Amino acid sequence: MTQQARSVDVTQAVAKLAQGGHVIEVEGQQIARTVLFETAQSQAAVFRLGPGQRIPAHTHSAIDDIFFCVGGQGRIRVWDADGAPHDHAIAPGVVFVVPPETPHEVSCAGGEFCYVLLQAPKERYDNRRYGEREPVS
């Protein structure tokens, strides 16, 4: 079966999340997200992080994580090979690419919600908490 080309309205997805959206639990936190698309090869979703919320530190063995800030102020923390953390501010319009095997976490950096679009390939996608050897299911 051939897939059809299509467009996705990110503005509409953010507006939906501003009203609530689908809530998932991430290490005891209630984080709203909406799936933008999912194909056999790729997936994308927008996450709404509130003040103090974060997607905990993790790594992927073989894929790049691609983050696009679509609203609010956020922070992506990455750890270098020596374990030293490095913080990177993200704001609307900023794309941040995290290469494979790079520990990283994403958090809301301001007093208002931060909306972050995450796009990743589905093939070879795994998710390991930073410091663990086994994938998180």
**Which pLDDT belongs to residue 124?**
64
- pLDDT digits 0-9 by tens, 21-80: 899 898 899 999 999 988 888 889 999 999 999 999 998 888 888 999 999 999 999 999
Structural domains in the chain, CATH included, are 33-129 (2.60.120.10)
**Which pLDDT belongs to residue 126?**
64
Written as six digits, the tokens of 96 are 């941040």
pLDDT-based confidence at residue 133 (cuts at 50, 70, 90):
very low
Q: What angle do CA 126, 55, 67 make, to 5 degrees?
A: 75
Distance CA 42, CA 12 (A): 20
pLDDT-based confidence at residue 137 (cuts at 50, 70, 90):
very low
Terminal Cα distance for the chain, rounded: 29
**Which pLDDT belongs to residue 42?**
85
- pLDDT digits 0-9 by tens, 4-18: 888 989 999 899 898
Which amino acid makes up residue 126?
Answer: D
Residues 6+ apart with CB under 8 A from 99: 64
The predicted model scores a pTM of 0.84
